[in-house]
Structure 1
Amino acid sequence: MEKLEEIHGNNCVDLKMIPSDIGRLPLLKILALTATFVENVPELPQSLISLCLSSRAVGKVPEIYNRVNLPSLRNLELCFGKDNDETFVYYESKRQPHAFSSLRMKLLNITSVTSFGAWFHCARELELIQCETLCQIQHLPSSLRKLKIRDCSLLEVVDLSNLENLLELSLLNNQNCHIQGLEGLASLQCLKVYNCRSSKFNGLERLKNLRLLLLKMCPSLQTLSNLSNLKNLKEFKLWDCPKLVDIEVVDLSNLENLLELSLINNEICDIQGLKGLALLQCLRVDNCKSSKFSGLERLKNLELLQLRMCWFLHTLPNLSNLENLEDFELWYCPELIQIEGLDRLESLERLDIQCCSSLRSLHDVSHLRKQKKLRQIQQLPSGLRELKISECHLLEVVDLSNLENLLELSLINNEICDIQGLEGLALLQCLRVDNCKSSKFSGLERLKNLELLQLRMCWFLQTLPNFSNLENLEDFELWYCPELVQIEGLDRLELLERLDILCCSSLRSLPDLSHLKKLEMNWQ
């Protein structure tokens, strides 16, 4: 045992003491014990380099400090409280001896942080979790790099004024918390605030090194400081702040390094400065009262565009310059009339349009032959009259289930495997399908208003439904469908004027059509 170098114990729920003999292990370098009930620590070997201790017995925490003050210790992680924590991170610190530069402390269910003051001079990371009687936090150590405070329901004040070295700050689900000293966090790179009732965040505009800003579920937030100084900001997420009505005071044009912008459920009236976000890759806007998005057309690096519940959106700029756009989602924009420039989006892979009742046409979708990466199209606008999709060689599924007003449908050279929702196209008059991998066309028999049907190069088509209900069909063209065995109901099509069948080698016979006086037939 004297040569033992490492001791690891996970979820040691029955461990209440560490044997005093542990001090006789002269080569011990790593000691890791989690979820214990240890109240005190015996004398530890001077050789110890890394100590990780989690205890749910918090009564004698100050005494533990005297035992872990070892000259060789480099990596120290401590977790105290009633929480069942079994996860620890070991740091490979290169600090000089006698310095606890990598100390991470996790304190649960404590009533005051001042009683742990002797520990704080060396702390780099601090987590305070479920401290339900903790009312205020002051005089935190200036050495802190990461601070996380979560589920402290009575916490009213957090004083951050001396944390000039702080890099990451997370304040999560502390409903009554007010933040002081934010303006002094000159080094801060990441700020996350969730479920906070503060009406403003004073000093936010001074955080010039900020890379990520997340403000979520701040129901009392009414104003935001001007963010134009945050030139290093790469990700900005503003979610569920219903009282934040007007964001026009926020000049986004100076945020030239912004990569991701999410404005969700804020009822924002105006978004200004979009045109300056030259590097933006992801834009999400939900529940916005703006009638337009000026500058959207200049976001050449945009890869994802999601617009949902923009109830008053009337127009969109021409999207033809969004040459890197891969994913475009447009939901619940009932006032939007048209979308221009879709035919120029060479990188588009996914187009999802739902509940845009005023959108009557997607003229540019007829040129989607350039969208060779497009994989799925679903929930297109119900007001569409004409839809053309061609040369989308990766497109496998098309969902037409809500296109009850569609009159003309063309699916050309897409190698589609599944066409869904045909049965709902009650008004459809013209259907063209070329080069399709589907083995059947479910619902085709319900298209009573169909006048022209063209099926070409449907190589795997084996069956067609009975055509007897297609009472308005005048023109039927069937080319290169080698697996099709029979066609039923042709003899009932009183209005059929043209029948052209070419290279359907498995088709052996047709019903007697001699009584169809207007019919001109070609069968080769």
Structure 2
Amino acid sequence: MSGLQNLEELSFWRCPELITFDDSIVLLGKLKILNIINCGELKYIPLLKLASLKKLTLSNLYSIKSFSPMLNEALDKLQFLEVIWCPFLKYIPPLKLTSLKTLTLSHIDRIKSLSPMLDESLDKLKILMVEYCAKIQTIPSLKLPSLEELTLSNLSSIESLSPTLDESLDKLKILEVDDCGKLQTIPSLKLPSLEELTLSNLSSIESLSPMLDESLDKLKILKVVDCAKIQTIPSLKLPSLEELTLSNLSSIESLSPTLDESLDKLKILKVVECAKIQTIPSLKLPSLEELTLSNLSSIESLSPTLDESLDKLKILKVVECAKIQTIPSLKLPSLEELTLRYLSSIESLSPMLDESLDKLKILKVVDCAKLQTIPSLKLPSLEKLRLGSLSSIQSLSPMLDESLDKLKSLKVLFCKKLQTIPSLKLPSLEKLRLGSLSSIQSLSPMLDESLDKLKSLKVLFCKKLQTIPSLKLPSLEKLRLGSLSSIQSLSPMLDESLDKLKILMVDGCENLQAIPSLKLPSLEQLWLVILFSIQSLSPMLDESLDKLKILEVHGCVNLQTIPSLKLPSLEKLTLKGLYGIKSLSPMLDESLDKLKVLNIRYCYDLCSFPHVMLPSLEILNLLYCYFLESFPPVMLPSLEILDLSYCKSLESFPRITSRSMTKLKILRLEGCEKLRNIHAINVDSLDEFDYSGCPLANNPVTDFEKAVNKLRQKYRSYIVEYDTEEVGLLMLPNMFAKDFWDQITHFATLIDPKNNKFEVLVERVNGHFAIILKVRFGKKVKCPVFNLPMQFVIDKTSVQPTFNNIVPSSLIGGKWKLFVDCCNLYEEMRMRFGAPVGGKNTALYVKVVAN
């Protein structure tokens, strides 16, 4: 490192063979940031004489037992120190770090004490976080005169915060104590600057005395959560308190004397999951702006809670209070948002809405199963109304009989008995969504009135709806019709000219047989998805849609041909799951000069790709077109990505000439089992080349054939054996590690004795590559056996391009575990399992849809 004197940031990340550092690291005199992460074999870090270092992160170092002599006086500019996941670290020396401002200690399982680490005076330390250190029993007295934020979390052996808080921490503003199961008391808090206090998951705490006996004059936020043994909360003498949250306090029976004192500045009050509370006292809270009452299963009435006038209350939420039968008249002159949800005993909204709530802007009434009628809404300021899962409602009269002149958004969902919706006299309405209204047969007279400002209309899952009237919606920009199983025609709905419509989505209308000619001069996006009865896109596309940029046609399995596309502005075209399409003519016969992306997937019968000139095309995907035999020498001068994966009949690939595909950077030919005739490709000019699953040249002669064969070795399929009577462990011998160390991608296919194929991302477990099966609680389980051989394939559009050092240990139970343990997935991720539309198959595709 002697030649890097000007280096300012250095990261060692996933260096599995790194054991120690060269002494030349001390020559990095200008280094400001040093990260040492996932270096599992690193055992020793030398004395760091880095006079300019400001930030040091040490994470996932499984062989480090001590930081001596690494941390020393020479790091006098270090401001940020983070030590995470060092499970064998037993000792941290005294921190003589005069500039340190932030210190994080997390998942250090063998540390028993923070002495002598914190015995030195860290005069500038502002933030201290200690979490997941299971063996720490005490934290020494904190002599931290500048400390502003302290977090103590998941310290399962801590029994007391003395002497931690015995010293005066005059500048401490934020204190969080979380998940310290053995902590029984918290001492009196002498914290004159404290503004935020959070106490959560303290299962042994029985009282908040003497903690709150001192006056905390500046405290603004107090949260007490999941403290199961607390029976009462003392009177709160907190003159500056603005937010109070009491949640999951299962032993609390009353909020007296908690709220007996006048909390004149309290703005937000949340009382959640306190099952034994039967009444809430009259709220004398003159500044209250937001009130949430949720999961209070013993509450029968909101009197006397709301009997006092709460003149400044803006938001009221009453959720999952199963025994409440009525809500009193709301004398809330400033109320702007009202949510009533999961009130299973409510039969009427009278007398609650009998008073005039002149400023109410948002009203949500959801999952009130016994509610039969909603009174006339005298809400002159209402802008947003949502009615959902009201299973006893049969009519929206007299609710909508009044004119709601300012209403902009209306949602009516899952009201299974609702048969009609009255004429909407809503001159300001911009968004209308109707969903899962299983008894609705017609949208008349609802849409008979002119809704001149309506911009978005969604009608979904109304299975009995047979026709939609002509839409006189001059401002409509987005229209979605989804899962309307009784609709056979879009006439007369689209007969009117919708001059401003930009997005049209028609999906899941399985009996829709034809779509009329689209006279939509402003249309930019058109989505046609899972329309099983559609055989032709004529006359829909016969008109010129000059502004159309995106055309998506998915799962129309009986569609035979697509007419010539006269779409001069088209930029993206996707055809997916069109099993009847054999040719792309005459669709591509017209010049599509602006087309940038062409996606054709799962068009199994497509036999050929035409000779086309697409001057702007940048991405061409032809995936799973099983009968495509050849790819012609097309002129695609702008093409950067070409993917022909799993075109299993493809036998040849054209020569890339100076005129054809000069900008090509990524070429994917994965799973092209018959591909043998590939004209010379300059692999060096490509950023990515995937030839996995293709046959090897039997006698490689040319440099190209040798290069392909060499790359092909990196995409092996491994036959794996396992004993189903023992724990589920599939281990690839360590000799295969090099197959995955520098490859373009790191997918492997594991084939078990039952011929099940599992496509996985190869991960590292204790120096080996393996799959371990565990249920969500961490218990090892037997490998599943699939009687019908299955193939589990990763949707590679959503896979991270990096290794994990350790396979996640407990994600999901059941038969999928064999697959997902090796897919770079984390807890709380959502996955979608799917298969090609229509027909029978044995392949399942897995995609991450949300974190």
Q: So what's the TM-score if we normalise by structure 2?
A: 0.45
User: What corresponds to 2:255 in structure 1?
Assistant: 201
Structure 1 residues 340 and 424: CA distance shift in structure 2, 3 A: same
CA contact (8 A) 1:283 1:302 kept: no
Report deviation, 1:174: 2.4
CA contact (8 A) 1:248 1:270 kept: no
Compare 180-189 and 57-66 and name the one that shifted more: 57-66
Counterparts of 2:229 and 2:175, CA distance in 1? 20
- Look up the SS of the partner of 2:72 in the other structure: helix
State the AA in 1 paired with 2:286: K
Report deviation, 1:249: 0.9
- Superposition map of 1:224-373 within 5 A: 224-227=280-283, 229-251=284-306, 254-267=309-322, 268-290=324-346, 291-293=348-350, 294-295=352-353, 298-319=356-377, 321-335=379-393, 337=395, 338=397, 339-341=399-401, 343-355=403-415, 357=417, 359-365=418-424, 367-368=425-426, 370-373=427-430
Alpha-carbon displacement from aligned partner over 1:217-266 (angstroms, at most 9, x marks no partner): 22212121211x22222222211111111112112663233232211110
- Look up the SS of the partner of 1:231 in the other structure: coil
- Look up the SS of the partner of 2:371 in the other structure: coil
Alpha-carbon displacement from aligned partner over 1:79-130 (angstroms, at most 9, x marks no partner): 154279xxxxxxxxxxxx9833514242522122224244564443332222
> Is the aligned partner of 1:79 residue 2:130?
yes
Report deviation, 1:74: 5.2
The equivalent position to 1:377 in structure 2, one of 429, 434, 441, is: 434
Higher helix share: 1
CA contact (8 A) 1:434 1:457 kept: no
Report deviation, 1:66: 2.7
> Is the aligned partner of 1:157 residue 2:213?
no
> Is the aligned partner of 1:148 residue 2:198?
yes
Report deviation, 1:54: 1.4
The equivalent position to 2:152 in structure 1, one of 103, 106, 109, is: 106
Alpha-carbon displacement from aligned partner over 1:319-367 (angstroms, at most 9, x marks no partner): 353434134233225156422246534342232232262x5543232x3
Structure 1 residues 256 and 336: CA distance shift in structure 2, 3 A: farther
User: What corresponds to 1:50 in structure 2?
Assistant: 101
Counterparts of 1:52 and 1:135, CA distance in 2? 26
State the AA in 2 paired with 1:188: L
Counterparts of 1:59 and 1:12, CA distance in 2? 19
How many correspondences in the alignment? 443
- Superposition map of 1:32-51 within 5 A: 32-35=81-84, 37=89, 39-42=91-94, 44-45=96-97, 47-48=98-99, 50-51=101-102
Report deviation, 1:303: 3.5
Counterparts of 2:90 and 2:117, CA distance in 1? 10
**Structure 2: 5+ residue runs without aligned partners?**
1-48, 136-142, 524-531, 534-538, 544-851
CA contact (8 A) 2:273 2:295 kept: yes
- Superposition map of 1:380-391 within 5 A: 380=437, 382=439, 386-389=444-447, 390=450, 391=452
What is the CA RMSD across the aligned residues, in angstroms?
4.4
Counterparts of 2:187 and 2:118, CA distance in 1? 21
- Superposition map of 1:466-477 within 5 A: none
Report deviation, 1:15: 6.0
> Is the aligned partner of 1:214 residue 2:273?
no
Alpha-carbon displacement from aligned partner over 1:256-301 (angstroms, at most 9, x marks no partner): 3323221111022232352414242353433153412433773344
CA contact (8 A) 1:19 1:42 kept: no
Structure 1 residues 411 and 256: CA distance shift in structure 2, 3 A: same
CA contact (8 A) 2:310 2:331 kept: no
- Look up the SS of the partner of 1:295 in the other structure: helix
Alpha-carbon displacement from aligned partner over 1:369-410 (angstroms, at most 9, x marks no partner): x24512533234726764432445423432361446x89955
- Look up the SS of the partner of 2:240 in the other structure: coil
CA contact (8 A) 1:253 1:274 kept: no
Structure 1 residues 208 and 41: CA distance shift in structure 2, 3 A: farther
> Is the aligned partner of 1:434 residue 2:480?
no
User: What corresponds to 2:73 in structure 1?
Assistant: 23
Structure 1 residues 158 and 33: CA distance shift in structure 2, 3 A: same
> Is the aligned partner of 1:129 residue 2:178?
yes
User: What corresponds to 2:229 in structure 1?
Assistant: 176
Structure 1 residues 68 and 48: CA distance shift in structure 2, 3 A: same
Structure 1 residues 354 and 7: CA distance shift in structure 2, 3 A: closer
The equivalent position to 1:399 in structure 2, one of 434, 457, 460, is: 460
- Look up the SS of the partner of 1:276 in the other structure: coil
Structure ranking higher on relative contact order (CA contacts 8 Å, 6+ apart): 1
Counterparts of 2:246 and 2:100, CA distance in 1? 35
User: What corresponds to 1:192 in structure 2?
Assistant: 245
Report deviation, 1:168: 1.9
Structure 1 residues 194 and 18: CA distance shift in structure 2, 3 A: farther
Counterparts of 2:134 and 2:453, CA distance in 1? 53
Structure 1 residues 360 and 31: CA distance shift in structure 2, 3 A: closer
Structure 1 residues 64 and 407: CA distance shift in structure 2, 3 A: closer
Structure 1 residues 364 and 343: CA distance shift in structure 2, 3 A: farther
CA contact (8 A) 1:20 1:43 kept: no
Alpha-carbon displacement from aligned partner over 1:173-213 (angstroms, at most 9, x marks no partner): 22222343242233222222322111122222533322222
Compare 229-238 and 416-425 and name the one that shifted more: 416-425
CA contact (8 A) 1:215 1:237 kept: yes
Alpha-carbon displacement from aligned partner over 1:11-47 (angstroms, at most 9, x marks no partner): 264363353862244x4251413325464542615x4
Compare 199-208 and 261-270 and name the one that shifted more: 199-208
State the AA in 2 paired with 1:114: S
State the AA in 1 paired with 2:377: L
Counterparts of 2:341 and 2:431, CA distance in 1? 23
Counterparts of 1:98 and 1:418, CA distance in 2? 60
State the AA in 2 paired with 1:399: L
State the AA in 2 paired with 1:125: I
**Structure 1: 5+ residue runs without aligned partners?**
85-96, 447-454, 467-479, 485-524
- Look up the SS of the partner of 1:114 in the other structure: coil
CA contact (8 A) 1:58 1:80 kept: no
Q: So what's the TM-score if we normalise by structure 1?
A: 0.70
Alpha-carbon displacement from aligned partner over 1:134-183 (angstroms, at most 9, x marks no partner): 23334233443322222233332222222523322222222222343242
Q: How many percent of aligned residue pairs carry the same amino acid?
A: 15
Counterparts of 2:505 and 2:128, CA distance in 1? 62
Structure 1 residues 83 and 300: CA distance shift in structure 2, 3 A: farther
Alpha-carbon displacement from aligned partner over 1:442-491 (angstroms, at most 9, x marks no partner): 67889xxxxxxxx9986599xxx99xxxxxxxxxxxxx99959xxxxxxx
CA contact (8 A) 2:79 2:101 kept: yes
